[in-house]
Structure 1
């Protein structure tokens, strides 16, 4: 891989290990975990593949250079020293996004503005004209990150966040982010080797992501565009070759994936999204109330869901969460039940002891992904059987 370069995949808190594994499985080199990010090496084809296939990445950045900076003037001079004509023509548009984690620099928008001035001034001086800024659909999206005094300039190869998969056109109240859904599924150990149920499926995201994992379908196959498609070195033939080879690696799936919701409007929306994702052969959405449902498959059932917590809907928490516990205990033997909640108090009402608790974030809200192991028969009998 002589043409390989360093890249950074950004992710959500708690998914660093999952993303590092995804990258290794895809064939990335020198994979290293950081805070909400994983760095790795690969070539241009691998950059395309990472954007297409990674389920838990929000963005793939390609760092181009970095330098120590002491003040705003240093930032301006540094940005101006970069050979922007290699990445941007005077007729292109660009956008700059900055994040700062530093005592010297405290205002990210000001840094972005300073960097924009540096690029514009450089083009004006050299070409007599300047490229325009376009925050919605730029030809080049530039990422500036200042950590203490180290300023790193990267090209954003993804564009809009990679959770915009392209299949979700219909949503309900507080839909779960697709990257969050995929990360929760991977953390839960979902691998497509048994039946799956999301008993409170909303707009169907969890069931769709579960099907894509089970069938090994590239996460962003339905996405409309990636930022790298507007780069000066964009290689369509290479991209199509990569896409074709990824599609050859899809797997057959011999179990059921069901999304259930008691709201007819949610069921309608979920069906639209399943159709958009071309997964009607694999995902069934049905109307039903979890609390009056029971397990209707042989063997193990894998359940992952995102029940409402008071941030989103007006519910009686105590009653609702104790009903979750009762339903699991009485009606779902032989089930690995996982759910996420942003209300840590509410977990007390479930009345079951979780066998796992994983700290994650849903947006800015600290949450827990919890697992309840529902045995077929009594736990004691199961324990004796395992001896």
Structure 2
């Protein structure tokens, strides 16, 4: 399988610990947490596995080299010093993304342009021809990251963001990002050991991610492709072995996963996505109004949902969040209920005290993941037992 090398898994704010735990569980070495990223070591097979299995990673980068740079000429010379024909042939296309966090350099687009010039010039000098840029479907995605004066060049092994799982073809207004949904579920402690409900399920993302966690199904098993499949060292046999080994680790699930939405159009879309994910045996999507519902199952129930909280979904926030609190309190005993909201004012109207509040982001919106514990019987009775 070759030697181990360093990789970087990018993630969303607040999920660094969750991602580090995921990496350790699947066998990563030297796991180190950073800001919105976790670095680790593994071999080529592990890189394939990380892309397939990680639920809270957005991208897996393979750094190839780094160097201190002081100006644009340094960057050009540094990029030219890399033997690009080891990664790219003349017939291949490439794309560059750059991130800059530095006082010396300010424009990431300019850095990307300089990188492109250096690569093209190297090919022209050596072959008289040049590979083309394709920002949509490149054969090689190159990632440039400048932190102060340190420039790191990486190959992007994922391609499009790993939240594009491949199962979601139908969406509603404001669908939740799949990586965000998986991260919220893992932060909530969801492990598939009880019944699950998403009472405002929209296009079904939360229920699907919950089922995949419960059954230990690789997060990106339905994805059409990864960037590493176009690399010069792509090993199909190795990938298929890794994929088979991951699928052999799926487990049975003996509880129910239910999604409810009051919009028929949402229910229809959610059912399409559940079918795309091959999870119809595990998930039931129903039309219904959460505020008129009650707990239907015996024993513990785990609720995670994403209620409306912004201008795209018109609701009377005060009344709506008050109804969430009332419904949970009156109709859902023996339940751990979690939801995310970016409307921090709205939480005041729930009328219940959260037992946990975790800061996360939904896109650029600062949000909170909150937990409400609904006891069966009185709280005092619980502590006496």
TM-score (ref. length: structure 2): 0.99
Partner Cα separation in structure 2 for residue 250 and residue 129 of structure 1: 49
Partner of 2:168: 168
Cα deviation, residue 312, structure 1:
2.7
Counterparts of 1:311 and 1:104 in 2: how far apart (Å)? 39
Find the counterpart in structure 1 of residue 296 from structure 2: 296
Matching residue of 2:215: 215
1:383 is displaced (CA, Å) by 1.4
Are residue 249 (structure 1) and residue 249 (structure 2) matched? yes
Equivalent residue number for residue 332 of structure 1:
332
Q: Paired residue for 1:284?
A: 284
The answer (yes or no) to whether the contact 1:310–1:317 under 8 Å persists in 2 is no
Q: 1:82-133 deviations in whole A, cap 9, x for unaligned?
A: 0000000011000000000000000000000000000001100101000000
SS at match of 1:6: strand
Deviations 1:222-241 (A, max 9, x none): 00000000000000000000
Partner in structure 2 of residue 343 of structure 1? 343
Where does 1:78-93 land on structure 2 (aligned, <5 Å)? 78-93=78-93
Task: State the shift of 1:2 in Å.
Answer: 6.4
What per-residue deviation string (whole Å, max 9, x for no partner) do you get for residues 172-223 of structure 1?
Answer: 0000000000000000000000000000000000000000000000000000
Note the C-alpha offset of 1:310: 2.3
Distance in 2 (alpha carbons) for counterparts of 1:312 and 1:30: 43
Task: Confirm or deny that 1:157 pairs with 2:157.
Answer: yes
Structure 1: distance between partners of 2:383 and 2:193: 23
Unaligned runs of 5+ in 1: none
Q: CA shift at 1:260, angstroms?
A: 0.4
Q: Distance in 1 between matches of 2:374 and 2:165?
A: 33
Q: In the TM superposition, what whole-angstrom CA distance separates every residue of 1:347-382 from its partner, at most 9, and x where no partner exists?
A: 000000000000000000000000000000011111
Shift of 1:311: 3.6
Superimposed CA distance per residue, residues 57-98 of structure 1 (whole angstroms, 9 cap, x where no aligned partner): 000000000000000110001001100000000110000000
1:377 aligned residue: 377
Q: CA contact under 8 A between 1:167 and 1:274: conserved in structure 2?
A: yes
- What is the distance in 2 between the residues matched to 1:50 and 1:308? 33
Alignment check: 8 A CA contact 2:202 2:270 kept: yes
Structure 1 runs of 4+ with >4 Å offset: none
Q: Partners in 1 of 2:261 and 2:244 — Cα distance?
A: 35
Instruction: Give the TM-score, by structure 1 length.
Output: 0.99
SS at 1:240 equivalent: helix
After superposition, residues 194-273 of structure 1 pair within 5 angstroms as 194-273=194-273
In the aligned structure 1, how far is the partner of 2:46 from the partner of 2:70? 35
Superposed, 1:121-140 pairs within 5 Å as: 121-140=121-140
Total equivalences in the alignment? 385
SS in 2 for 1:146: strand
Tell whether the 8 Å contact from 1:13 to 1:361 is kept in structure 2 after alignment.
yes
Give the Cα–Cα distance (whole angstroms) in 2 for the partners of residues 353 and 2 of structure 1.
Answer: 53
Aligned position for 1:13 = 13
2:145 is equivalent to residue 141 of structure 1: no
Distance 1:76 1:87, change over 3 A: same
Is structure 2 residue 105 aligned with structure 1 residue 108? no
Distance 2:91 2:177 in 1: 35
The superposition leaves residues 239-295 of structure 1 with CA deviations (integer Å, 9 ceiling, x where unpaired) of: 000000000000000000000000000000000000000000000000000000000
DSSP 3-state at the match of 2:252: coil
Q: CA RMSD in A?
A: 0.7
Local SS of the residue matching 2:191: coil
Instruction: Quote the Cα distance in structure 1 between the aligned partners of 2:311 and 2:336.
Output: 26
